[in-house]
Amino acid sequence: MDGGEESGAGNLNALRAFRVLRPLRTITSIKGLRVLVTSVMHALPMMKQTILVLFFFFLIFAIAGVQLLSGVLKKRCVSKLLGTILEVDGSEKLCGGEGHCPDGYYCGKSIANLNENSNLDNIFYALLMIF
């Protein structure tokens, strides 16, 4: 392959990105689907108060989750002698809010959560978990 063929392939790849728009053709071709989509689009402005109230409740529960459970997923059972984290069945043992660890271990706070995307440490991640 020379340089001309590679740049032509790049242009084809850019055109292939428009394949995502193919389902829009089915909306215009099927009358029942077109009626359904237009009715949903017309109903969205009337639902703005409902969506606002729903977001408000999500926000309240996210704030409550941050207040009650912030940092709980960072607490793990740590060995008093070695400083290693206790693993049970291949996963780290969380001690959570209770602080119950076996003898020889204490409930220490780790730097990172067990799963980075699911935690209640800030409002953004709490809203993401609730939604």
pLDDT digits (tens, 9 = 90+) for 59-91: 999 999 889 887 777 788 888 888 777 777 776
- Six-digit token string for 15: 């055109």
- Nearest alpha-carbon partner for 114 in 65, 79, 77: 77
Confidence of residue 7 (pLDDT cuts 50, 70, 90): low
Phi-psi sector, 71: left (phi>0), alpha (psi -120 to 50), beta = left
Helices (H), the chain: 3-16, 22-29, 31-43, 48-69, 123-130
| pLDDT given at position 58 | 94
Amino acid at 15: L
Confidence of residue 27 (pLDDT cuts 50, 70, 90): confident
Q: Where are the domains of the chain?
A: 1-43
- Six-digit token string for 25: 């053709």
CA distance 39 to 47: 12
- Section 95-103 average pLDDT: 74
- Six-digit token string for 30: 């099927």
78: helix, coil or strand? Answer: strand
| pLDDT given at position 78 | 83
| pLDDT given at position 9 | 59
CA distance 77 to 75: 7
| pLDDT given at position 10 | 60
